[in-house]
Amino acid sequence: MNFKLFLFELFIVLVTKSPVYEAVICGGGVVRPGNACCGNVGYYSGTNTCCGGVVRPGNACCGNVGYYSGTNTCCGGVVRPGNACCGNVGYYSGTNTCCGGVVRVGGKC
């Protein structure tokens, strides 16, 4: 058995015996903990995302910034609270509406 294969198998055994159960092979053939690669870095896509080649917290990117799309949105390249954009302003479409670039309370303009 060659040495690289032995080290790989040893690493897999160690990873599966730890609380971390997933591993990926990222650039250069290096095994990393995680289920996705961001360049040469492994990460868990359930809690992080890859923005501009850097692992960031969140599930979506706004430029190079990570954010959680369940509570925020990306408007004009800036993370804003809400689930929709009205121009560069974030708002919640369930309680508000966008009328001619202005956020109004309710569903009618």
Q: Which residue has the higher pLDDT, 96 or 9?
A: 96
Do 73 and 80 touch, CB atoms closer than 8 A? yes
46-54, Cβ contacts within 8 angstroms, sequence gap of 24 or more: none
pTM to 2 decimals?
Answer: 0.72
Neighbouring C-beta atoms of residue 55, cutoff 10 Å: 20
Amino acid at site 36: A
Do 72 and 80 touch, CB atoms closer than 8 A? yes
Do 12 and 31 touch, CB atoms closer than 8 A? yes
Q: Average the pLDDT over 80-96 and give the result.
A: 96
Q: Which residue has the higher pLDDT, 104 or 28?
A: 104
pLDDT band at 94 (very low <50, low <70, confident <90, very high): very high
pLDDT at residue number 107: 81
